[in-house]
Amino acid sequence: MIDCHCHILPGIDDGAHTFETALDMARAAAAAGIQDLVCTPHHLNGVYSNPGSVVRHALQDLRERLAGAGVPLRIHPGAELHLVPELPSQVLDGTALTYNDLGKAALVELPKAAVPMGAETILEQLLYRGITPVIAHPERNLVLVRNPERLAEWVARGCKVQLTAQSCSGDFGERIQHISRHWLELGWVHLIASDAHRPTGRSPTTLAAGRAVVTEWLGDQAASLLVCDNPRRLLDGADLLALAPHANPRRIRMRGRWLGFLPWRRRAR
Ligand SMILES: [Fe+2]
């Protein structure tokens, strides 16, 4: 598997705080069957600023330390970029890192409870410049959950969608799990990633659990597309493939409308 969203670089955001923690995360990832992992520290979110120069340096340092420790995990550059007006210009000049530093696709995040003003304009600017926006965990955004047609429009225009593995396995509650399944069945989702921050709990190992659940829902071929084939295409700078829709669109539309109004429920853990 390839984990295309992970906060493993130590000391630069709210992910791993130390090299020892990063090493534990890397060992956990390798043990869970992850061969490649994209380092995606936050950038431009108002708290953390991690321009390309910082990420490249931290990545090289961690690469050398992982090799020294004998951990069989390849790591690649990336960033989780907040959707702000200066994003397109920063992506173009390399300040904001794209996947594998290729200038082809960029992981973009939204606040949990809002979609920023002008979001569509920023996404259009990226698309116009040949950068594919990959929307990080939209199933955890309150506005998109209540207005899924907005996400559908973004996908129709060329954006891609990444779900968090724990959303699929139910760790964030039944509602988010149902929405994740619903969007997967509609064929809107292109990637599943761990968004790991720690060696345990929000860990890279959650990718395997998420894959297992999606395999139950959609079969092994679809699950492999989301955690192996499409992440590999991201690293290679190739276009991502779409899932085939799996369910009746009319039934799904009604279910989606209903899900948007369900109260938040967390699963007892
Ligand atoms: Fe993240």
- Tell me, what CATH number does 180's domain have? 3.20.20.140
Q: Is residue 265 part of a domain?
A: no
Domain limits at 9? 2-255
Q: What is the tally of structural domains in the chain?
A: 1
CA 251–ligand 1 middle distance (angstroms): 32
**191-206 residue pLDDT tens:** 999 999 999 999 999 9
Residue 95 in any domain: the answer is: yes
Distance between CA 92 and CA 130 in Å, rounded? 10
Please give the model's pTM, rounded to 2 decimal places: 0.91
* Residue at 98 is within a domain: yes
Asked if 108 contacts 81 with a C-beta cutoff of 8 angstroms, the reply is yes
Centre of ligand 1 from the C-alpha of residue 16, in Å: 12
- Give distance in angstroms: CA of 39 to centre of ligand 1: 10
Is 107 in contact with 40 (CB distance < 8 Å)?
A: yes
**Residue 152 predicted with pLDDT over 70:** yes
Asked whether residue 76 is domain-assigned, the answer is: yes
Does 181 map to a domain? yes
**Residues 6+ positions from 2 with CB-CB distance below 8 Å:** 34, 35, 36, 37, 38, 227, 228, 231, 232, 234, 235
**Å from CA of 181 to ligand 1 middle:** 20
Residues 6+ positions from 262 with CB-CB distance below 8 Å? 175, 178
Q: What is the CA(40)–ligand 1 centre distance, in A?
A: 7
Give the chain's length. Answer: 269
| Per-residue pLDDT reduced to its tens digit, 13-65 | 999 999 999 999 999 999 999 999 999 999 987 889 999 999 999 999 999 99
Residue located via tokens 């279910």: 255
Examine residue 262 and state whether it is found in any structural domain, yes or no.
no
Calculated CA dihedral for residues 146, 150, 156, 157, nearest 10 degrees: -150
Protein residues placing their CB within 5 Å of the ion ligand 1: 80, 195
